[in-house]
Amino acid sequence: MASNEKSKKPQENYTDETLATAMSELMNTENYIIVDIGANLTNKKFTRDLDSVVSRAQDAGVHKIMVTGITVHSSKEALRLTCLFPGTLYSTAGVHPHEAKSWEDDTEEELRELLKNKEVVAVGECGLDFNRNFSPQEVQLEVFEKQVALACEVQKPLFIHERDAHAELLEVLGRYKSRLPAIVIHCFTGDAQQARTYLNMGAYIGLTGYVWKDKSEDGVRRILEDGIVPLDRLLVETDSPFMYPNTRASKLPPYVKEALTERSLTFLHRYCTFQRNEPCSLPVTIEMIAAYMKKKSEQVALQTTFNAMKVFGLST
């Protein structure tokens, strides 16, 4: 697919100079400044202690969190949460491919109304998942295309889920390439060539704690070690309560383990488990990514935050 400069357009008219100044001011702290671009805080696992979850995240350096919508109902709930934590929580509105079969005649209009709210900063989580096929593939394709068209209409970024449907996803996006807003490939777990294809079309790559798990010759570790994903196109997320970063795994290289700080590990091991990951674990993912990229963790935290604020138009 041809490169699409418009896909790199941020949601708001922020200039690099404005964001750089804001980020410089934020850096006058000993802690990281991180944005979690994807956390499922409407999940029932967070019902009883969301205040504590958000507070811990901020203590760990995760100052802004995007709450992911996967159905109309959860998108409405995600927006409700942003009202409880203004300036900290933002949300997305969309229908996940697993939920595509739930699309009804009024779904598109309900999403359109949600997207009128400034706190709702992206269309999604939407996309294609031909790995599990919880919804029929033809239904996934139809529902995804409707959301791509909606994102083009409202000019808010697309927050995309893709599993085993790379070619099909590109085909749908290709039909809208002259009108596409910014594109974020959420929780990327593909190979190096797929990453290059997404980058060539102007997309951003979102990475999670999955970086501990991948040991393939051509996967996420490779794209970091070989510099395939430039730092200015990288975003980070926890996908809480999923994607727990297992730093004790034997497959994690020693040099990566050595890069993990005691402070970040304390948040991870004290508050997070395989059953319930939290946004406060994100500093560990930052440090793993930085180790693979052979960069300072502070640099990765700062640049990914800059990217998120620019792409999603988050307030400073």
Residues annotated within a binding site for a divalent metal cation: 125, 161, 186, 239
CA distances from 226 to 10, 38, 220, 229, 254 (A): 27, 25, 10, 8, 18
CA distances from 55 to 46, 80, 89, 193, 231 (A): 13, 18, 12, 39, 28
**Cis amide prior to 241 (ω within 30 degrees):** yes
Residues 6 or more apart whose Cβ sits within 8 Å of residue 16:
310
- The Cα 277–Cα 163 span in angstroms is 21
Q: Which two tokens stand for residue 121?
A: 């900063």
Widest CA span of the chain, in angstroms?
53
Alpha helices in 4-158 (DSSP H): 16-26, 50-60, 72-84, 107-114, 137-154
- The Cα 165–Cα 144 span in angstroms is 12
Residue positions in the annotated binding site? 125, 161, 186, 239
